[in-house]
């Protein structure tokens, strides 16, 4: 039975299809219509109780939250394919930490800065923005990107010389920020690394 991915374009669900393309794992892509409220229908709420995307069904297992889904795929498929470090290694510790960081630190500050401090299709109307929120989340986003810049010093990828799903988790967020107009000019290592990641053929195939 093929894995099922529930998502829509320009969401964190793209990281899930990107991961599956990297892994060569067959999947069915079910695109929800957010405008029609597909994410709030009872059948979908039985998979993702919060009515958001992405969600993934693997046999009788149901997963939601992009980071949780990526960790499931990493542990089930990626070690044997060289896309996730082996257990008990320093590289596994780094991969796990940075993947979780992408969802708990990087992405929340990034999105709040985009909402309050930028002019993008995802930003709040100007009257609804908070200058205080924009300033705080920009400072934390800069702090996050500076930490990533340090991590990439002397490395091609987050855990060393090889691309892993940790790179995918982080690059997905960084690339979205850049698409929305966040400048990476102060982070040349991050810029070059993000391009290496998003230029991969699997990323180009992802929905």
pLDDT at 115: 98
Q: Report the DSSP pairing between strands 55-58 and 3-7.
A: antiparallel
Q: For residue range 91-111, what is the model confidence (pLDDT) as tens digits? A: 999 999 999 999 999 999 999
Considering 78, 109, 139, which residue would you say is the last residue of a domain?
A: 78
Coil/strand/helix, residue 190 = helix
Closest CA to 151 of 183, 184, 187, 176: 187
Residue 200: C-alpha distances to residues 19, 151, 164, 203 (Å): 11, 21, 12, 5
pLDDT at 1: 75
Regions of the chain short of the pLDDT cut 70: none
Q: Is 91 exposed, middle or buried (0-12, 13-18, 19+ CB in 10 A)?
A: middle
How many folded domains does the chain comprise?
2
- Domain shared by 74 and 101, yes or no: no
Give residues with Cβ within 8 angstroms of 24, minimum separation 6. Answer: 81
- Beta-bridge partners for 160: 157
Domain assignment present for residue 85? The answer is no
Residue 190's domain comprises: 90-205
- Domain shared by 116 and 197, yes or no: yes
Give residues with Cβ within 8 angstroms of 98, minimum separation 6. Answer: 151, 158, 159, 166, 169, 170
Considering 28, 44, 78, which residue would you say is the last residue of a domain?
A: 78
CA dihedral 193, 107, 207, 25 (to 10 degrees): 80
CA 120 – CA 106 distance, rounded (Å): 18
How does DSSP assign 168-184, residue by residue?
HHHHHHHHHHHHTT---
Domain assignment present for residue 155? The answer is yes
pLDDT at 198: 98
CA dihedral 96, 64, 106, 120 (to 10 degrees): 150
- Domain shared by 65 and 105, yes or no: no
């Amino acid at each position: 039975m093929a894995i099922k991915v529930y998502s829509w374009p320009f969401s964190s669900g793209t990281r899930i299809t990107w991961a599956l393309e990297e892994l060569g794992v067959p999947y069915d892509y079910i695109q929800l219509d957010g405008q029609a409220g597909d994410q709030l229908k009872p059948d979908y709420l039985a998979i993702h109780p919060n009515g958001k995307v992405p969600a993934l069904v693997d046999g009788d297992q149901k997963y939601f939250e992009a980071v949780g889904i990526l960790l499931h795929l990493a542990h089930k498929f990626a070690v044997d394919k060289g896309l996730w470090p082996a257990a008990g290694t320093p590289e596994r510790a780094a991969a796990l930490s940075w993947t979780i960081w992408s969802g708990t630190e990087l992405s929340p500050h990034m999105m709040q800065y985009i909402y309050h401090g930028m002019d993008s299709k995802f930003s709040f109307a100007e009257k609804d923005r908070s200058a205080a929120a924009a300033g705080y989340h920009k400072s934390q986003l800069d702090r996050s990107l500076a930490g990533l810049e340090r991590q990439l010093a002397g490395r091609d990828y987050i855990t060393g010389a090889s691309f892993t799903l940790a790179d995918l988790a982080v690059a997905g967020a960084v690339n979205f920020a850049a698409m929305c107009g966040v400048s990476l000019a102060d982070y040349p290592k991050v810029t070059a690394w993000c391009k290496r990641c998003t230029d991969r053929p699997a990323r180009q195939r992802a929905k």
